[in-house]
Structure 1
Amino acid sequence: MKPHIRIQGLSKAYPESITEADEVIRHYLADDTARQAAGVSFALRDISFEVADGERIGLIGANGAGKTTLMRILTGLAMPSTGRVEVEGKLQAILTIGASLREDMTGRENLLLAARLAGHPEERLPAVTEDMIDFAGLDHFIDWPVRTYSSGMKARLSFAGAIFIDPEILLIDEALSVGDRTFADKATAAVRKLCEAGRIVMIVSHSVETITAMCDRCIWLDNGRLVMDGPAKEVGEAYEQAMRLKFERAMISSSQSRNATLDPRIVAMSDLAIDMKQAPATDAMPMPSPMLTLSCDLTLAASVASLDVELRVERLDGLLIARNRTTLPGPHEPGEITIEIDAPEFFLASGFYMIGLGISADGALLAQLGGQIQIQSEIVYKHGTPTLAWPMFLSTSPG
């Protein structure tokens, strides 16, 4: 029989509490209404789809969408609450980076063990292991203990071990997100080769780029429900558009909540004006460079000797990407003042970012403002795109 996956009406519920009484109720109540009354939350709700031999299928969705839960059910590590799951074929899964690796053994010893457990004949083990080692590309680190490996190195080792076991169904949960571009290209070629031989490959990722590069079909999950199932490019574009709208709403709300005057020396303040433009190439910078210009109006109630301005750039998850300070010399007399901040050569990876501006005097924070920017970079970097590709420098002047 050809390998396949068939899922019908799959739901997975977890109790919100784990008292003995809750466990008894959860065991005997099967319908959704009763489960909700018993204090149950759903990781998956009424999911149905089929995967035929030779398909490369991606699972995409935000954190908590149900992707990992679905993979755990397919591997038998979790049981469905309701519905039917049918998996036909020899299955291999990489669900957690390094979970199947022995930390005390070297990379070579781990791959030899994987080949032996896969049932390769003893006389073929050296050759198969060398193929795995060549694919992993860890050089002399292959003879180091796995406990010394980075997550990217463990991902390479795990993938090499899985791909040479020749599974009929291969499940990969985010294991390729930590690898470099060169290895990702090699992994993509290996996945395609598997599928050409009639195997099934299912990949979980937050990255639309990874899904569209490695898969021909994609399933989008959100809050445990199947939102869309179709060609990878179409589903990826729809997912990105939905995430973009969600992020824009969140950023607008967050940036508005950041605007505040914190000292009586400032009696009025405008919103933060943000302008992104391209600076022309120069001898020092032989490519057009993005330039960020910020401005805001303040009304001072008292004179200040100087104003210190701090610019913060954060990712949507709150990770600080860059921070820099500059000073606008004074003195500044009571009345309205316009502050302009220029950040030339503002190289960021494509995406959405939060901008935070703090204005201080004499060591006291007078006001803070917030905004958001979207970067669409066409610059191609040899070893992948860094989040911040160039130090951030600021200059401040009166408007």
Structure 2
Amino acid sequence: MTAVVPAPVRPDRRPPAVPPRTRSRSLVTLAALLVVVGSVGWRRGEYFTGSLDPVVVAKACVSVLALALAFLLAQAGPRRRVGTGTVWWLGLLLACTVLGALTAGHLVAGGVVAVRVALLGATVLLLLRAVSAVDVLTAVVRACVAVALVAAVTGLPSYTDGRLAGGVPAIDPNELALLASTGVLYVAWRTVVGRAGVRAALTAAVLSGVVWATGSRTALLMLVLGVAAMALHIRRPRVGLVVGGLVLAGAAAVTVVSTGAVAGFVSRGGDGTSTLGSRFIAWRAALDWADSQWQTAVGGGLSVKIIRVQGQYWDTQPLDSSWVSLLVQAGWVGVLLGGGWVLWSLRGVLEAPREHRVLFLGLLVFLLGRSVLESGLFDASVAFLLFTAVSLLAEGGSRDRLRAEEPEVPA
């Protein structure tokens, strides 16, 4: 009788399955990178006027791809609860701007920008339905940091002009400071909740250097205020945090006394349209720019970003303020809607769970303070992306979901 020899068992050479959460985080990271790349400027000093060119088409394709990926993520698993109050605020504001663009004869340009803003808001909403709040915000912040570092490194040749601007993509110094500041605020949040390490501190130091190199005084001031708002939530500061803070304060004091860097930063010069005094000129012109009472009420659409000024050696000037821009783009009705949205979001942030509230409040303080002197809070920009994410998560329909989610801070 012949013995039956069992066949040798071959080892399973198939790659190990990727955990669903890890896979979803990777896709969210990709979607966040696409939405941030599609939101930043690719050309400095140029504004969309309604005409199509390769850059406009490419940015649109990136934004649509991010939306499609977010939609697939939202359909792949169980949907997480997200409130809809933010959607109503955004819808009313966009409707006001489109109506203003129609009556002002800017329907094509204004309508296209409004669609871009709506796509950005929809992408954020779908991502928040797909994964946890911390995962989405972490992915967005990491995307901002990645774009900021690439832009800063490729833009180093521009630093010879006194302000660091982005190379690839070609973003202006203020927008580069916004991206870098987002990373610093995220590290500050991890520090407050007790999960920051040496690598996070080094990252914050590099990003702070980028903010300084951009020469953006508004971003630096609002960054300090945002970090201070987070620091108020520290219950029992660790010894290392106290010692590190004292060392940093001492180093800053030595720098102030021994060098003229701070004085040079504060007194940074600019051309005729970038100083604070020149901004007041544009803001005064925005109060009586409209040709009719209707335009005063509903504005001229989101494509209006430059206003004519008189009595200067320049004829036009950008509207370097989110609120003055909103006055021109959506009229007094839009300003009231934007102000109501902000106050409503701030109330929700103050009622959010502690670990989420720390991050939300820091971001909101930074974004709202920056919006006084910088545009973009109600436009297709990274500032709007962050503000919408905070607004969606802080409203009443989302807070129960935040309490149920594990407050895990990724490394």
TM-score bucket of the superposed structures, by smaller chain: under 0.3
Higher relative contact order, chain-length normalized (CA < 8 Å, sep 6+): 2
> Which of the two has greater strand per residue?
1
> Which of the two has greater helix per residue?
2
TM-score by length of 1: 0.24
TM-score by length of 2: 0.24
